[in-house]
Each structure stands twice: as C-alpha cells, then as structure tokens.
Amino acid sequence: MEAEIAKLEGRRPALLLHSCCAPCSSNVMEYLREYFALTVFYYSPNITVSEEYEKRLIEEKRLIEAYNRQVEIQDFTGLHSSPAAKRIGILEAPYDPEAWFAVVQGLEDCPEGGDRCSVCFEMRLRASARAAAGIGHSLGRFDYFTTTLTISPLKNAMKLNEIGQRMAEEYGVSWLPSDFKKKDGYKRSIELSKEFNLYRQNYCGCIFSKR
C-alpha cells in the first residue's frame, strides 16, 4: 500500500473505502484522507439484525462528520492527520440481509474464518468493485477501492487482498492492497474509538458469528 501511495506524487485519486463499522474505519480514514479523495462505501448485508445495522451506520456517519469538522476548522489536535487531510464522503448501499442469507446458504455451520466468511468477503468486495466502477450510483468511477476489513486481527488480510485484486480485474478498477492492522493500526483504532466514544461491537455482524 505504501509503495502504491508513493507513486501518487502529490496526486489525489478518488478512493472508495468499503467500511464495516466506525471503529474499524477510524484509523483507516485518518490515514487515507491524507492521500486520497475518500468516500466511504457502507455495505454490510451480513449484519442480520436491523437495529444493529442502524446503530453501526449512525456511528459511521457520526465519525465522518467529526473528521470533516476537523477539516473545516483545520484543527487536528491529538490526531496525526495534517492540513493535507480532506473531507470524506459516504455512499450508503441498500441494506439487503436477505441477499446475504441466500449467498451463504448451506454454510451456516462453518467455523469463523472458514468458507462462509470467504463467501461473505467476496460478496462485499464484489459490490465495492461494482460501486468503484460507477455502477449503481451517480458519483462516477473511482480510481481505487479497498476495505477496512484488513484492520481486524481476526480477518485474513492475504485472503481479502486476493479477493479484492480478483474483483478489481473483473471490474477494471484498481485495488489498493492493505493490511491496516500493521504498524499498530488496530491499536490506533482502539484509541480513536475511545476518543470519539464509538460503539464497539464484539462480533462481525452475522447471526452465526453472534452465536
């Protein structure tokens, strides 16, 4: 990722960031808004309880608003963002848990991190690639797309990057490889969650993970 960013040489390409929740996106947004015209793509059909989905979406929007206020007043106190940081947009996908249940049918009893998770990753990254290609909305094409999922110590970053690259090739949009948990990224996300008093869930979102 850092090698890809180094190639930008001051350019600020449009990047679509698939996000699962505010805590996971906190450090990722803080970092990426320095280099990209950043739009968060909130797509989480795996959150199978509507109240949980709404709670996470509200927190995502609240954090984005807080980051954007920092840009407006140029006050980055306590944060490692700089005046180079720009505003963050948000693109909210329709909430469609029924589609997710259909995709993972037959995988209900898989262990965490198994085949059900891989299918879930592909569903979400495919939707992200489609959105980055300008399909299904009016924001146009993005130069890159990536996901906050690699910040989790429980997620396989290598697998996510493999799926992301495959989707990028299929839809003709560049994938920004990442392992956001590295260099204390996950630790920083916990610090920011405390600073902004974010709701932190203890499961990924699906009913099988909750069980």
- Six token digits for residue 45: 């059909």
Say what the alpha-carbon torsion angle 123, 3, 180, 146 is, to the nearest 10 degrees.
-20
- Six token digits for residue 88: 């963050």
- How far is it, in rounded angstroms, from Cα 134 to Cα 110? 34
* 64-99 b/e (C-beta count within 10 Å ≥ 16 → b): beebbebbeeeeeeeeebeeebbebbbbebebebee
- Six token digits for residue 162: 């493999």
Model confidence, pTM:
0.95
- How far is it, in rounded angstroms, from Cα 102 to Cα 47? 14
- How far is it, in rounded angstroms, from Cα 189 to Cα 137? 30
pLDDT tens-digit profile, the chain (211 residues): 999 999 999 899 999 999 999 999 999 999 999 999 999 999 999 998 999 999 999 999 999 999 999 999 998 887 778 889 999 999 999 999 999 999 999 998 888 888 999 999 999 999 999 999 999 999 999 999 999 999 999 899 999 999 999 999 999 999 999 999 999 999 999 999 999 999 988 778 888 887 8
Sequence-ordered list of residues with C-beta below 8 angstroms from that of 5, at least 6 positions apart, any chain:
35
